[in-house]
Amino acid sequence: MKNIKQICICIILLFSCINPAFSGNRPTGLLTDLIKHTDKVYINGYPSSISLADIDNAIEPLQYAVIQSTHPIFSWIVPGEKTGTLQTAYRIILSDKQEEIKQLKGTIWDSGKTESNQSVSVLYKGEVLQPSKTYYWRVKTYTNTDGESDWSEIKAFRTGKDLRSYASSGEILVKTKDYPQSTSKINNNVHTFDFGKASFGQLLVTLTSETGQDTVQVNMGELSKDKRVDSSPGGTIRYQSQILPLMKGTHTYRIKIKKDERNTGNAAIKMPSYIGEVLPFRYAEIVGYTKEINNNDIIRETVTYPFDDNEAYFHCDNDILNQIWDLCHYSIKATSFTGIYIDGDRERIPYEADAIINQLGHYSVDREYSMARRSHEYLLEHPTWPTEWILQSVLIAWYDYLYTGDTRSLAANYEILQNRTLMQLREKNGLISTTTGLQTPEFSGSIHFNGKIRDIVDWPNTNWGKESDYQGEADGFVFSDYNAVTNAYHYEALKLMEQIASVLDKTNDATFYKKEHINFKELYNKTFLDKKRGIYMDGDTTAHSALHTNMFALDFGLVPDKYISSVMEHIRSRKMACSVYGSQFLMESVYDGYDAEYALSLLTSTDVRSWYNMIRVGSTISLEAWDNKYKPNQDWNHAWGAVPANIIPRRLVGVEPLLPGYEKVKICPQIASLTSVESKIPTIRGNIEISINNKDIYTMTVKLPANMEGEVYLPFIKGKTKVTCNGESLKTEKVKDKPFLYVGKISSGVYTFVLQ
């Protein structure tokens, strides 16, 4: 028996040498400039067997991610399962020769043992990297629990032709082959195929003709009707039909997607030539073919940004909420097909409002940060017309930093972010306005916009629907020169610019913005707060009080504590009187008002104005509007309709970064009447796992990855005062004016909290 054990140990050690991933004591998840797949080479969207070292010898057109910065950043996941594991130092080596890096020679750069807990966004500090060259790096860490780690895997990357000190990079779009989940033969002439979910892709069919004189019709679409592909789905719900002449014998045909003039216009994001045009479809149909067709004869090539389906997880005891999570989780993946966040298939144009919701959703369902960065910087150069969306760029920039810990984009775009606060539109009364003559050519140039911006509040804010009493999605908002929603955004931008300036060590600017937002909050409440009613008015010349006015004021922290209750009462009275876009800020405001039960009722609603309605009407990707009747030309593939993808992990489960790059996380669940919740949330430092059981005794188990700390809050439940952590009693502190108990700080490891 002893000899057998020794043999097993030898085999394990040998396998860990052959397969580095087997060893648990090495850094994993290596990112270069936030890119995960820098070492992969693709051919027309498919991963190939070619390595970066061999690309110069290939004759095929190849695709691979390129690093555009002369000094990129490196990130990794620190190894360690022990409680309280924190990195104390790291060592990075980089070489331009694979053999040297295998021999642990950092001939281009060796950081040496660097005393630091930084494991994300670590700046390369060697000589300027050269263009069109392949480099290799690896890292080892030192922790307070396990000491020195093994070296990580070797990670390769290729630089671009034109390098700058900083420039963002992106992944290559990838293709995945899908086969029908079900098939049916309607009659001797019609075969239909259901892929289960819609995706943006292309269709391959393998068919046989004995004469070469046969012709079939191929139909594709997002909607079915009477067991057929719906050929008249309405709006912008997609359908295409093509005639396919067959050659003699058995052949595989690629169905060419027709060009759409609108979503391939000047402002649209074009599909790269190595991918080709795509169409969103779930169903396919072949008409006029009498032979049998096997599942393997019908292939959909789905196109997405690289996406790990297993990074995130959510399940609870409410099946409706589980279905909504699945819908929104998948929607983030399915709508990533251009590599930049867009508004949907009708236009394929980036908009800030789509980007901010897409960004938060993407962070919540995958350990992926480059697509959000590329989209944000694209929109800084190509902004859209709504005033509030111009201001959203500052919010997007801050989220980028908060989730990655990388300051370079903030520094590179600092001046335009300052201009996006729209202080140039301040009138003598201290409020901003787009209608009082301050939009000069100089102003437009400062925000990179060609034309004049205008306030939007929500979209659509007029009656586009079929219902006679439907007045758009802005809850009857009354527009005036001084718009409460626009000025609320201005306040939020000023607050964030103070933090951005502080991060970049611009002390004078930070002091300036702090003074500005403190004074502006007082002015805002003096102008828009109706103290008698305890709610906010849409403008300085109207008594109308839309849902939006109050939800944005609460979401952005403008509401004094004494008025939170009355503002929340008004918000509840208006229900879902906002668009799927506006619901992002409604849900945030409801959680900010600590009404978790009402928030849950909105998330799980089965009304027409609900996420469940998107499932009920037959879509598998989130919609542009709550229903076709509210926006007859809507897309069935709009990521801004996937708000629960971020609201569930960020607010219901309650996991949000407190310090940049998730160095510290806040855990503050608001699960309301749910009795069980399980969630896995990706971060740049590794996954956070949370399990909550709320049947008789409230029990929450938290698993934090190494090199992360957390602050934990539990719900304040009357009659339940005793809290234990891993069996030991804890002293707790009731949070002032909030329904939470602060139970203390934790570091990495597994913790089980019991409230009884």
- What are the pLDDT digits (tens) for 89-103? 999 999 999 999 999
Q: Does residue 13 have a pLDDT over 60?
A: no
Beta bridge partners of 203: 255, 300
CATH number, domain 26-164, options 2.40.50.100, 2.160.20.80, 2.60.40.10, 3.30.70.120 = 2.60.40.10
Q: Does residue 23 have a pLDDT over 90?
A: no
What average pLDDT does this structure show over 5-28? 53
Q: For residue 2, what pLDDT is reported? A: 44
Q: For residue 463, what pLDDT is reported? A: 55
Q: Does residue 213 have a pLDDT over 80?
A: yes
- Band of the pLDDT at 9, cuts 50, 70, 90? very low
Q: Is 241 exposed, middle or buried (0-12, 13-18, 19+ CB in 10 A)?
A: middle
Q: Give the homologous superfamily in CATH for domain 661-755.
A: Maltose phosphorylase, domain 3 (2.60.420.10)
Q: Give the DSSP letter of residue 538.
A: S
In this predicted model, what pLDDT tens digit does every residue of 644-695 receive, in sequence order? Answer: 999 999 999 999 999 999 999 999 999 999 999 999 999 999 999 999 999 9
Residues 229, 720: Cα–Cα separation, whole Å: 56
Q: Is 261 exposed, middle or buried (0-12, 13-18, 19+ CB in 10 A)?
A: exposed
Tokens describing residue 377:
């910087």
In this predicted model, what pLDDT tens digit does every residue of 416-437 receive, in sequence order? Answer: 999 999 999 999 999 999 999 9
Mean of the per-residue pLDDT values for the chain? Answer: 95
In this structure, which amino acid lies at residue 579? S
User: Which of 442, 558, 536 lies closest to 491, judged by CA?
Assistant: 558
Q: Does domain 313-652 have CATH number 3.30.470.20?
A: no
In this predicted model, what pLDDT tens digit does every residue of 574-583 receive, in sequence order? Answer: 999 999 999 9
Where helices occur in 580-636 by DSSP H, the ranges are 583-592, 596-603, 611-616
Q: 3-state secondary structure string, 681-718?
A: ECCCCCCEEEEEECCCCEEEEEEEEEEEEEEEEEECCC
b/e burial code for range 400-434 (CB count within 10 A of at least 16 → b): bbbbbbbbbbbebbbebbbbbbbeebbeeebbbbb
What average pLDDT does this structure show over 620-628? 97
User: Which of 100, 107, 109, 114 lies closest to 127, judged by CA?
Assistant: 109
Q: Does residue 468 have a pLDDT over 90?
A: no
Ranges of CATH 2.60.420.10 domains, the chain: 661-755
Beta bridge partners of 305: none
Tokens describing residue 561:
């504590």
Ranges of CATH 1.50.10.10 domains, the chain: 313-652
Show the CA angle centred on residue 670, arms to residues 664 and 673, nearest 5°.
155
Contact 367, 405 (CB under 8 A): no
In this predicted model, what pLDDT tens digit does every residue of 720-751 receive, in sequence order? Answer: 779 999 999 999 999 999 999 999 999 999 99
Ranges of CATH 2.60.40.10 domains, the chain: 26-164
What average pLDDT does this structure show over 525-546? 98
What is the DSSP track for 646-686? HHIIIIIS-EEESSGGGSEEEE----TT-SEEEEEE--TT-
What average pLDDT does this structure show over 584-590? 98
- The residue assigned the tokens 């190509």 is 382
Residue 258 φ/ψ region, left for φ over 0, alpha for ψ in the -120 to 50 degree band, beta for the rest: beta
Q: For residue 611, what pLDDT is reported? A: 98
What average pLDDT does this structure show over 146-172? 98
The CA distances from residue 185 to 246, 287, 294, 377, in Å, are 20, 10, 11, 49
Using a pLDDT cut of 70, give the percent of the chain over it.
96
Q: For residue 471, what pLDDT is reported? A: 81
Q: For residue 718, what pLDDT is reported? A: 85
The CA distances from residue 133 to 42, 66, 67, 130, in Å, are 17, 10, 10, 6
Ranges of CATH 2.60.120.260 domains, the chain: 174-304
Q: For residue 461, what pLDDT is reported? A: 83
- Fold annotation for 174-304: Jelly Rolls (2.60.120)
What average pLDDT does this structure show over 31-40? 98
Q: For residue 464, what pLDDT is reported? A: 54
- Band of the pLDDT at 19, cuts 50, 70, 90? very low
Q: Does residue 18 have a pLDDT over 50?
A: no
The CA distances from residue 231 to 156, 299, 331, 414, 625, in Å, are 48, 21, 24, 49, 22
Q: Does residue 11 have a pLDDT over 60?
A: no
Contact 220, 255 (CB under 8 A): yes
Residues 360, 584: Cα–Cα separation, whole Å: 10
What average pLDDT does this structure show over 132-137? 98
